[in-house]
Structure 1
Amino acid sequence: MEIYTVGGAVRDELLGLPVRDRDYVVVGATPEQMVAQGFRPVGKDFPVFLHPETQEEYALARTERKTAPGYKGFVFHTDADVTLEQDLVRRDLTINAMARAADGTLTDPFGGARDIDARIFRHVSTAFAEDPVRILRLARFAARFPDFTVAPETNVLMQAMVAQGEVDALVPERVWQELARGLMERQPSRMFAVLRDCGALARLLPELDVLWGVPQPEKHHPEIDTGVHVMLVIDYAARQDFSLEIRFAALMHDLGKGTTPADEWPSHHGHEARSVKLLETVCSRLKVPNDCRDLARITAREHGNVGRAFELRPATIVTLLGRCDAFRKPERFVDMLRAAQCDHCGRTGFEQRPFPQAAYLEAALQAARQVDAGAIAAQHQAQPQRIAEAVQAARTAAVAAYIAVNR
Structure 2
Amino acid sequence: MRIYKVGGAVRDRLLGLPVTDIDRVVVGATTEEMLAQGYRPVGADFPVFLHPKSGEEYALARTERKSGRGYGGFTFHASPEVTLEEDLIRRDLTINAMAEDDQQNLTDPYHGQRDLQARVLRHVSPAFAEDPLRVLRVARFAARYAGLGFTVAPETLELMRQLSESGELQALTAERSWKEISRALMENQPQVFIEVLRSCGALKVLMPEVDALFGVPQPEAHHPEIDTGVHTLSVLQQAAAHKQPLTVRWACLLHDLGKGLTPEEEWPRHIAHEFKGLKLIKAVNERFKAPRDCQELALLVGEYHTHGHRALELKPSTLLELLQSFDVYRRPQRFEEFIAACEMDARGRKGLEERSYPQADYLRGAANAARSVAVQPLLEKGFKGPELGEAIKRERLKALKAYKENA
TM-score range, shorter chain: over 0.9
Tell me, in whole angstroms, the C-alpha distance in 2 between the residues paired with 1:309 and 1:219.
19
Tell me, in whole angstroms, the C-alpha distance in 2 between the residues paired with 1:8 and 1:258.
38
Look up the match of 2:121. Answer: 121
Look up the match of 2:23. Answer: 23
Name the SS for the 1:193 alignment partner: helix
Is contact 1:236-1:345 (8 Å) kept?
yes
Tell me, in whole angstroms, the C-alpha distance in 2 between the residues paired with 1:72 and 1:62.
15
* Deviation of 1:145 (Å): 0.7
Name the SS for the 1:145 alignment partner: helix
Show structure 1 runs of 5+ residues with no match.
none
Counterpart check, 1:397 vs 2:392: no
Is contact 1:377-1:384 (8 Å) kept?
no
Look up the match of 1:310. Answer: 312
Tell me, in whole angstroms, the C-alpha distance in 2 between the residues paired with 1:402 and 1:384.
27
* Deviation of 1:405 (Å): 2.5
Amino acid at match of 1:61: A
Residues 384/151 of structure 1: CA separation in 2 closer, same or farther (3 Å cut): closer
Tell me, in whole angstroms, the C-alpha distance in 2 between the residues paired with 1:116 and 1:336.
39
Name the SS for the 2:183 alignment partner: helix
Look up the match of 1:71. Answer: 71
Name the SS for the 1:247 alignment partner: helix
What is the CA deviation profile of residues 264-288 of structure 1, one whole-angstrom value per residue up to 9, with x for unaligned ones? 1110010000111111111122211
Name the SS for the 2:277 alignment partner: helix
- Equivalent residue pairs, number: 405
What is the CA deviation profile of residues 183-240 of structure 1, one whole-angstrom value per residue up to 9, with x for unaligned ones? 0111001101111011111110000010000001111111110000001101111111
Which aligned runs of 4 or more in structure 1 are off by greater than 6 angstroms? none
Tell me, in whole angstroms, the C-alpha distance in 2 between the residues paired with 1:89 and 1:384.
69
Is contact 1:380-1:386 (8 Å) kept?
no
* Deviation of 1:401 (Å): 2.0
Tell me, in whole angstroms, the C-alpha distance in 2 between the residues paired with 1:385 and 1:196.
52
Look up the match of 1:286. Answer: 288
* Deviation of 1:164 (Å): 1.3
Residues 277/378 of structure 1: CA separation in 2 closer, same or farther (3 Å cut): farther
Percent identity of the aligned residues? Answer: 55
Look up the match of 1:106. Answer: 106
Look up the match of 1:222. Answer: 224
Q: Provide the TM-score with structure 1 as the length reference.
A: 0.97
Question: How much is the aligned-residue C-alpha RMSD, in angstroms?
Answer: 1.2
Look up the match of 2:35. Answer: 35
Look up the match of 2:327. Answer: 325
Name the SS for the 2:65 alignment partner: strand
Look up the match of 1:84. Answer: 84
Tell me, in whole angstroms, the C-alpha distance in 2 between the residues paired with 1:55 and 1:295.
37
Name the SS for the 1:358 alignment partner: helix
* Deviation of 1:360 (Å): 0.5
* Deviation of 1:402 (Å): 2.2
Tell me, in whole angstroms, the C-alpha distance in 2 between the residues paired with 1:37 and 1:172.
38
* Deviation of 1:377 (Å): 4.2
Amino acid at match of 1:402: Y
* Deviation of 1:380 (Å): 4.3
Is contact 1:4-1:102 (8 Å) kept?
yes
Look up the match of 1:5. Answer: 5
Tell me, in whole angstroms, the C-alpha distance in 2 between the residues paired with 1:376 and 1:301.
33
Residues 219-368 of structure 1 aligned to structure 2 (within 5 Å):
219-368=221-370
